[in-house]
Amino acid sequence: MAAPAQRYAAIAIVLHWAIAFSIVLMIPLGWWMSDQAEDGVVSDALFQAYQLHKSVGLTVLALSLAQLARRLANPPPAMPEHMPAWERLIASATHWALYALMIALPLTGWLYVSAGWSDHDDAPLQVTTRWFGLFVVPHLFGLPSAGAEVREEVADAAMGAHGVLAWGAIVLGALHAAAALKHHVINRDNVLTLMVPGLRALSGGEPAPKNPGRLALLGGGLALTFAGLAAAAFTLASLGGGPQTQSQIEIAEPAPDIAPHTPAPPEAGAPSAWRVDPRASTIGFAFTYDDGESAAARFEGRFTRWRADIRFDPDNLGASRAVVTIETASATDGVAVHDRALPGPEWFDSAAHPTAVFRASELRRRGDAYEARGELTIRGRSRTFDLPFTLVIEGDRALMTGTAQLDRSDFDIGKDTDADDLISREIDLSIRVEAVRQP
């Protein structure tokens, strides 16, 4: 092993401050995100904050491993001679404990993400990690393929350890900073000056000769560090979220169930009106989540509140019509975080556009089946939409089933969100309607 240096290498100083300031940013951000998730807040801004938190955390892990490797190969400057043995022992133990924390803290976060389980909702939640949006970070130990019980246990243990380590980093970091200030203010030695560029030495020794290469590395490295941290802070501010910012996203209270729709009596010669049986009728949707790493997952959901005004006669298709109105805030696929996100502004934007409407103005036969053509309006955007369906009428009761597919990008659903390229553009629709002919 090499002899102790007289001063810290420039790269050691840059790594020290890059890691320190990153952790100072990450811990309050982590608490804020946890509070938001615990309160049920779901937004693309919060999703991006999580991605930033994970990206910076993985950077801290890489920098900490580099700093540890450098430390093992290059002993630091010797401690001041006046330090008693017990103080040297505590200082050494604190330094090694900080190394352990700097590595274990992001590792437990990585392990939690790999488990694909929400500690807040106690439910599966697979989220891809993209390092600053540049590449996908693989999950650890093949956890996405493990059973739900294993993933839940790993997630609980990892998140618990992550929280304890965060507190440990705060305590040890405060002790480390307090000790450095003690050396500078009380002991009046040069411990702090060795790590703070530009801080004048307080006692003894000749000043180290100026090295242009060292100064360039220090200046460039620290400038890059502060630029990166400033960019991270600016990103958080632009998201409208941060440790001191209250979320601007409000999840509306669920609207009361829509009362059964009673159509007006049909005019003479007009197609019959049909009353939908809500207990036997569903409007469902399905999509695929694929992060390109683990197996693709298919999610199936439905709208729980909708109504339909149907005027239909198979012998008078030219006059037949149907209008279906869906409350977008009633979308659910059984995954709590999805159910909270779907009404949000990035997806259905239910606050501004509470309903989606399909107006079928043309119904026609297609062999043994039928097709309804009309206008589908979602988020205020209208597109021509065709719905093929089968129909069985027995007396005054009818059963209609149909399937179709739409491109959510036609309605800007999920557009420009970080999850946009993880969720299939093609959304499968399935409709089953049982209805009774009105007298």
Residue ranges in 7-43 assigned as alpha helix (H): 10-38
Contact between residue 130 and residue 136 where contact means Cβ atoms under 8 Å apart: yes
* pLDDT over 50 at 76, yes or no: yes
pLDDT at 44: 67
pLDDT at 183: 85
Residue 214 CA: distances (Å) to CA of 55, 121, 165: 29, 50, 34
| Distance (Å, whole) CA 349 – CA 359 | 20
pLDDT at 261: 44
Mean pLDDT for the stretch of residues 380-384: 95
Round the CA-based radius of gyration of the chain to a whole number and report it: 31
Per-residue pLDDT of 149-207, as tens digits, reads 998 999 999 999 999 999 999 999 999 999 889 888 888 888 888 888 878 777 655 55
| Distance (Å, whole) CA 224 – CA 332 | 45
Mean pLDDT for the stretch of residues 411-420: 86
Q: What percent of the chain has pLDDT over 70?
A: 88
Q: What is the mean pLDDT of the chain?
A: 85
pLDDT at 289: 87
Per-residue pLDDT of 255-307, as tens digits, reads 333 444 444 454 546 899 999 998 899 999 999 988 776 667 888 999 999 99
pLDDT at 198: 78
Contact between residue 196 and residue 17 where contact means Cβ atoms under 8 Å apart: no
Select from 158, 131, 132, 164 the least CA-distant residue to 143.
Answer: 158
Q: How confident is the model at residue 8 (pLDDT cuts 50, 70, 90)?
A: confident
Task: Read off the amino acid at residue 233.
Answer: A
pLDDT at 204: 58
Mean pLDDT for the stretch of residues 369-386: 96
Mean pLDDT for the stretch of residues 74-79: 86
Per-residue pLDDT of 205-258, as tens digits, reads 555 567 778 778 888 888 988 898 888 888 777 765 443 333 232 222 333 334
Select from 304, 232, 241 the least CA-distant residue to 43.
Answer: 241
Q: How confident is the model at residue 337 (pLDDT cuts 50, 70, 90)?
A: confident
Per-residue pLDDT of 41-70, as tens digits, reads 666 677 788 889 999 999 999 999 999 999
pLDDT at 251: 26
Per-residue pLDDT of 303-331, as tens digits, reads 999 999 999 999 999 999 999 999 999 99
Q: 215 is written with which tokens?
A: 């100064």
Q: Which residue has the higher pLDDT, 304 or 422?
A: 304
pLDDT at 77: 87
Helix/strand/coil for 70:
helix
pLDDT at 378: 97
* Domains of the chain, earliest start first: 10-238 (no CATH), 272-437 (2.40.128.110)
